[in-house]
Amino acid sequence: MQPKFWKLSQGTREFEFRDLIESINSGLVYVHKDTRGKGTSSTSQAEDFINANIGDYFYLTHGNEGIYLLGQFIGPANLFSKYGDGWLEREFKFIFASNNRSSYSGEHKWWTPNDNSTFTRVPEHEVEQFELEILTPYFGVTLSDFGL
């Protein structure tokens, strides 16, 4: 089974840098229940966050202020987050810290940090581009490290 990769942005309007660090420290990531879908998607980004599989990977951004970690979901979504009313949370396992502090300046895709999206899957046909744009420059890993 091929792993799925997602972009998860805890945006700069909703999360101060301190909140982002506390999120990482607690092993929890958040998406608001009212986060709508992208384009003509039949599901919202919040629904995608709820329905992402345990074992799926995500990379965490703070808007396009930086890429911080690669994580893996280890539990289902909690619909009653401690973060506050309307927030969903998921527990994750820390896989890799980013080794690159620069903002992303590559091609614009829904799954890249320079897009105004919250939780977006990297399409299977773009996983190799994800490797070149995110995995290798920010984490020093390749798809072969994930058995691909």
Contacting residues for 65 by C-beta, under 8 A, at least 6 apart: 12, 17, 103
Angle subtended at Cα 87 by Cα 50 and Cα 64, rounded to the nearest 5 degrees: 85
DSSP 34: T
Q: What is the enclosing helix (H) or strand (E) of 8? A: strand 5-9
d(CA 130, CA 123): 9
What per-residue confidence (pLDDT) applies to 102?
85
Q: Are 66 and 101 in contact (CB under 8 A)?
A: yes
DSSP letter for each residue of 54-102: TT-EEEEESTTS-EEEEEEE-SPPBSS-TT-TTEEEEEEEEEEE-S--S
Q: Are 45 and 120 in contact (CB under 8 A)?
A: yes
What per-residue confidence (pLDDT) applies to 40?
80
Structure token pair of residue 114:
């320079």
* Backbone torsions φ then ψ of 119, nearest 5 degrees: -140, 105
Q: Are 88 and 79 in contact (CB under 8 A)?
A: yes
Q: Which fold has domain 5-146?
A: 2.30.130
Rg (alpha carbons) of the chain, rounded to whole number:
14
What per-residue confidence (pLDDT) applies to 124?
93
Question: Mind listing the pLDDT tens digit of every residue in the chain (148 residues)?
Answer: 678 999 999 988 888 899 989 999 999 999 999 999 988 888 999 999 999 999 999 999 998 888 999 999 999 999 998 888 899 999 999 999 999 988 888 899 999 999 999 999 999 999 999 999 999 999 999 998 887 7
